[in-house]
Amino acid sequence: MDKLTRSRNLILITLGIIATVAVMMLFQGTFNRPNTIQISDVAEAVKQGNVDKITVSNDDIVVKFKDGRPDATSKKESGATIGEQLKEFGVTSDQLAAVKIDVNSPFNWGDVLGTASLFLTPLIVLLIFWFMFRQAQGANSQAMSFGRSRARMFAGDRPTVTFQDVAGVDEAKQELAEVVEFLKEPEKFIQLGARIPKGVLLIGSPGTGKTLLAKAVSGEAGVPFFSISGSEFVEMFVGVGASRVRDLFEQAKRHSPCIVFVDEIDAVGRHRGSGLGGGHDEREQTLNQILVEMDGFDTDTNVIVVAATNRPDILDPALMRPGRFDRRVVLDRPDMKGREAILKVHSRGKPLAADVDLTKVAKSIPGFAGADIENLVNEAAILAARRSRKSISMSEFDESIERVMIGPERKSRLMTPKEKSITAYHEAGHAVVAQLLPNCDPVHKVTIIPRGLSGGYTWSLPEEDEHYISRAKFTDELAKGLGGRAAEEIIFGDVTTGASSDLQHVTEIARDMVTRYGMSEMMGPMIYGQKHEMIFLGRDLGEQRDYSDAVALEIDREVQRLVNAAYVQAKKVLTERRAILDAVAQRLIEVETIEEDEFRKFFQEPVATGDAASDDAPFNPRAKIPTTNSKDGSSATGAVPAPAPA
């Protein structure tokens, strides 16, 4: 509520109070007027000694009785006193002396206010109606402004974000640098006949920095920046979205050169004809207006539209054609160098301890986007403050990584000795299989401390960023995922529910190998089934089968074969290296957590296997894993921790 509205309300309230008081005073005499009696009745009451007080005001008198009767009014003759008037009716001087007589001044404020209220009341009523009319006009103007754009404008003279604040997306910054150059020197391009890019579409998964990059473009160019969300165009009233689009682009033209940034444009840019309202859907009218406005720009307008979305597959083709969004800039999740650069940006201004190695931190957070890294640094700072430290150390970063990826420690959860033993062997099974199979990622950490929804986890990190996964790696990952269940069966002769999430993960990998990646020799290099989704709803509704029931049966059998083969392999590895499994599990029961260096030592000493004698040389099952304690091969990428039994 603005100051003008508050002032109007205050004036209305004051006028209402004044009017109420005036009306009450005007009618006070009508509602509260005492009984009127004759002067002879007053004299008779005085004779009886029943009058306590007589108040005289001009020719009006008010009589107060002793017996509790209501006060009464009467009139005396003009020019005569009340005493003279009563004596004419036979009241003696002694009787008159027993009555208290008050004579008021002839000037009466009540009469004056009562008379003034006769003139003030109509005036106050007129003022109230006038203010009500003004309020109605204000409400009408607000209704007329309902279709105005709600875009927020940021001046470009004081940029808060520049390209220096954006890291890990060098290719995207290079693409947008030309947009900045055009906004600064448009004549350079116009002289050569180059067409001005009318729109730039930023495509990337959530948290990759699309909005931040758009602000950086505005900050670098030093031009006004209009920011609005796609959902802000759409209201329950038809036509409001299109009106707001028109108003937004009119403002942009008045402030050109400038940038119009539409975040989450898929809220209004979906395929036309897919809405529940048909061709008259409000979203479609808004999209039509956006298409008209973008295609109607002149070459000297100098207004560039930047939009962001993480669902480019559902956008309308007319929005994607040249002349609308001429450029598409893809923002992918950063690699190791990009993560390190983003860590440096978000660590700027924060006190870091001498032991902090941002390169090592970057290797430990594969798959993290810019927003994830910012959250990680913030969690580390919060943890350091909670520990009353003056700087952020490496231990806070390590704790924050596990906290963000898996969840906080559940220190209050107590496990029985049996549960602790089952969890230790379960996680030892995952870790030993992962270390012994050549295509699994090296083990970074094994713990049985409950964290998040898991009772324990095995954390693996690949040696380098991977963009393609081979069939051999998938096969070994299946065996690793089943290592926990295999260890339970080998040691305890029974299995628990702790492997439920492992089984789900393994089954999904095996089915994708058969139906998505063509990695089944029996089913061949084909894709089975098509993803079916409704564009308007924007979500996957399941798989559309394009194969027969006989093929579905073969797919199920092949998935079952892959899982069973991986389970047999996991049991074989753990049976042959039973001594290592026991040693790792017992160590977990003792210390609860085994780091990478200590874990590798279990595989560097001669260990007796199931039926064979001790080896003469240190066991080295992975050619790519050195037998020394060097950490050079411990660079990180995504590892899915396998939950241990609850």
Helix (H, G, I), strand (E, B) or coil at 70: coil
Say if residue 489's pLDDT is above 80: yes
| pLDDT tens profile 245-277 | 888 888 888 887 888 888 888 888 887 765 544
Say if residue 30's pLDDT is above 60: no
Average pLDDT, the chain: 77
DSSP 436-454: HSTTSPPEEEEE-S-BTTB
Residue whose token pair is 């005493």:
83
Mean pLDDT of 503-520: 93
CATH node for 336-405: 1.10.8.60
Residue 607 structure tokens: 């260990």
* Rounded distance between C-alpha atoms, residue 290 and residue 312, angstroms: 17
Spatial CA neighbour of 643 closest among 438, 491, 429: 429
Residue 268 structure tokens: 């209004």
Helices (H), 577-641: 578-591, 596-601
CATH architecture for segment(s) 152-331: 3-Layer(aba) Sandwich (3.40)
Q: What percent of the chain has pLDDT over 90?
A: 24
* Rounded distance between C-alpha atoms, residue 130 and residue 474, angstroms: 79
Residue 189's contacts (CB-CB under 8 Å, 6 or more residues apart) are 182, 196
Q: What is the pLDDT of residue 179?
A: 82
CA dihedral 373, 375, 378, 382 (to 10 degrees): -130
Backbone angles phi, psi at 161, to 5 degrees: -135, 130
Say if residue 576's pLDDT is above 90: yes
* Rounded distance between C-alpha atoms, residue 445 and residue 598, angstroms: 9
Q: 96-100, 250-254, 275-279, 580-584: which has the minimum mean pLDDT?
A: 275-279
What is the enclosing helix (H) or strand (E) of 153?
Answer: strand 152-154
Mean pLDDT of 299-304: 68
Superfamily of domain 417-601 in CATH is Peptidase M41 (1.20.58.760)
Which are the catalytic amino acids?
A: 427
Q: At what angle do helices 240-254 and 282-295 cross, to 10 degrees?
A: 20
- CB count within 10 Å of CB 7 equals 10
| pLDDT tens profile 445-454 | 999 988 877 7
Q: What is the pLDDT of residue 34?
A: 56
Say if residue 9's pLDDT is above 90: no
| pLDDT tens profile 152-202 | 666 655 667 888 888 888 888 888 888 888 888 878 888 888 877 788 899
Say if residue 614's pLDDT is above 50: no
Residue whose token pair is 């998040």:
452
Identical fold between 3-109 and 152-331? no
Domain locations along the chain = 3-109, 152-331, 336-405, 417-601
Numbers of helices and strands, H then E, in the chain:
23, 16
- 398 close to 379: Cβ distance less than 8 angstroms: no
Of the options 3.20.20.480, 3.40.50.300, 3.40.710.10, 3.30.720.210, the CATH number for the domain spanning 3-109: 3.30.720.210
| DSSP secondary structure code for residue 595 in this structure | E
Q: What is the pLDDT of residue 8?
A: 64
* Rounded distance between C-alpha atoms, residue 408 and residue 259, angstroms: 42
- 173 close to 163: Cβ distance less than 8 angstroms: yes
Residue whose token pair is 């941002």:
358
* Rounded distance between C-alpha atoms, residue 227 and residue 583, angstroms: 60
Q: What is the pLDDT of residue 547?
A: 85
Decide the pairing of beta strands 258-263 and 457-460.
unpaired
| pLDDT tens profile 523-554 | 889 888 876 554 444 444 456 778 888 999 99
Residue of 330 and 107 predicted with greater confidence:
330
Instruction: Give CA 501 to chain center in angstroms.
Output: 28
Say if residue 492's pLDDT is above 80: yes
- Considering just the CA atoms, what is the radius of gyration of the chain in Å? 43
Q: What is the pLDDT of residue 629?
A: 32
Residue 194's contacts (CB-CB under 8 Å, 6 or more residues apart) are none
Q: 38-42, 157-161, 220-224: which has the minimum mean pLDDT?
A: 157-161
* Rounded distance between C-alpha atoms, residue 59 and residue 45, angstroms: 19
Residue of 71 and 433 predicted with greater confidence:
433
* Rounded distance between C-alpha atoms, residue 105 and residue 107, angstroms: 5
* Rounded distance between C-alpha atoms, residue 79 and residue 64, angstroms: 23
Residue 231 structure tokens: 């959902």
Which of 17-26, 40-49, 153-162, 619-628 is the most confident on average? 40-49
